[in-house]
Amino acid sequence: MKQSEVKGYSLEELKDKLAETQNTFSAMRRTHVVSPVENTSVLRGLRRTIARLKTAINNQ
């Protein structure tokens, strides 16, 4: 998710997206511990998306 996409969301939508992304990240991380994920860049992308969403929430 790009920063320009994040700017278009309201505060409630940002919080919903953050919770959804965090759940996805934790599930993928648990899966990665058991059996390695093929594309580990997805984990990095999710981590960065979480950071973008948190930043947008703090700026509002």
Per-domain boundaries in the chain:
3-59
Question: How far is Cα 48 from Cα 45, in angstroms, rounded to an integer?
Answer: 5
pLDDT score recorded for residue 7: 87
User: Quick one: pLDDT band at residue 2, thresholds 50, 70, 90?
Assistant: confident
Over residues 6-48, the pLDDT tens digits come to 888 999 999 999 999 999 999 999 999 999 888 889 999 999 9
Do residues 53 and 8 lie in contact, with contact meaning Cβ atoms separated by under 8 Å? no
Query: What mean pLDDT do residues 49-57 have?
Result: 96
What is the pLDDT at residue 20?
A: 97
Taking the model in full, what pTM does it have? 0.90
